[in-house]
Amino acid sequence: MFPINKFEFFGAALALSTSLFCSCASSEKSANSPAVASVSELTPVRVQLDWIYNAQFAGLFQAVEQGYYADVGFEVSILPGVGADEIKLGDTREPVFSFGSTESNVLIGKVAEGADAVAIGAMFQDSPMGWMYLKEGPIESFEDLVNVRVGIHADGARVIALLLEQQGVDASGLETFAASYDPQQLLDGKADALQCYYIDEFVKLEQMVGDRAGVFLARDYGYRAYSQVMYTSGLTATEHPQVVADFLAATKRGWEYAFAHQEATIDLILSKYNPKLERDYQIRSLAKVEELMVPEPGALFRPMDPEVLKAGQAHLLKYDLIPEAVDIDALLVQQYLP
């Protein structure tokens, strides 16, 4: 099972909904509430993911399951991604608080187009983007990509070209083509390397060929970006800061639980969220998610570096992929991180 809207460096066509809103009548709950509110007293909260239910969002599922959201007075609905063209926040007939998850460059692009959204924290401290290949073939180093056939998605060719040039390689002869996400293309000889997501397609390739699977991660060649960036509306962040703080604190608790109980977490995802997923695939994926979320002790929900986002925006502007620059310092509202 492979995505159709994969986290491209230049932010493919994933659109942030401008219908992020909150009810000013909704009561804010303190993280130190002495007792869990009854269901009828819980404040509705909607969380829009940018992909299907899977291990990428394990912490949110456990925050629901373990009652961490209820502890702070929230009744949380988690919505899966709906495709490459639009993020929808579900039924808006009732006032709720809305949060979402997307890529940092996608968020910058949509705010540049007028979306009312602010970044409140990042789940992944590094981008999972990479290029996978089969070892013992024509590829031994990242620089070798310039001499082989590379399957890419959306603007992936620009990413490789940029990083190769940063390594001092002439990328003018780079051969790329639009490819699917299926690793079988490598085994069939249709591609020498494929753009991938480290926690997704590369996991599948590892299952298929074991130690023969190789990958070059973009982060190791100078690409910095945050993934699964959590956002909400500027109005929510300004007028209901305690809601934001409580949501982040409960979400962090969910991730801590998920990493401490990985097999039980995958059982939860398979039983309640997406029974079509393969268990071994998800267990492997969650282990790689932990690598990206906690690359070192204490990194979970570490604040984003504004300079990383400014560098990403500079590339978006260079290639005319956003209409104008946004104020990155204003975009980041991270004072409520736990």
Instruction: Check which CATH number belongs to the domain holding 47 and give it.
Output: 3.40.190.10
126/123: higher pLDDT:
123
The answer on 255 and 212 residing in a single domain is no
Count CA within 13 A, CB hemisphere, residue 298. 0
Residues 149-167 have a mean pLDDT of: 85
The answer on 299 and 229 residing in a single domain is yes
The answer on 198 and 64 residing in a single domain is no
The alpha carbon dihedral of 172, 175, 178, 179 has a sign of: negative
Residue 320 confidence class, pLDDT cut points 50, 70, 90: confident
**Domain assignment of residue 162, given as a range:** 129-221
Q: Is position 180 within any domain?
A: yes
Highest mean pLDDT among 28-42, 59-73, 312-326: 59-73
Q: Is 116 helix (H, G, I), strand (E, B) or coil?
A: coil
Tell me how many degrees the CA angle 161-7-158 measures, rounded to the nearest 5.
Answer: 15
The answer on 285 and 141 residing in a single domain is no
Q: Is position 122 within any domain?
A: yes
pTM: 0.83
pLDDT tens, position by position, 290-307: 999 999 999 999 999 999
Q: How many domains are there within the chain?
A: 2
pLDDT for the residue 6:
42
- Residue 195's DSSP bridge partners are 131
pLDDT for the residue 284:
96
Could you tell me which of 178, 151, 159 has the C-alpha nearest to residue 103? 159
pLDDT for the residue 11:
40
Q: Is position 172 within any domain?
A: yes
Residues 71-82 have a mean pLDDT of: 91
The answer on 256 and 233 residing in a single domain is yes
The answer on 150 and 52 residing in a single domain is no
The answer on 243 and 115 residing in a single domain is yes
The answer on 230 and 212 residing in a single domain is no
Residue 4 has pLDDT above 70, yes or no: no
Residue 37 confidence class, pLDDT cut points 50, 70, 90: low
pLDDT for the residue 86:
42
Residue 318 confidence class, pLDDT cut points 50, 70, 90: confident
307: exposed, middle or buried (Cβ count in 10 Å: 0-12, 13-18, 19+) = exposed
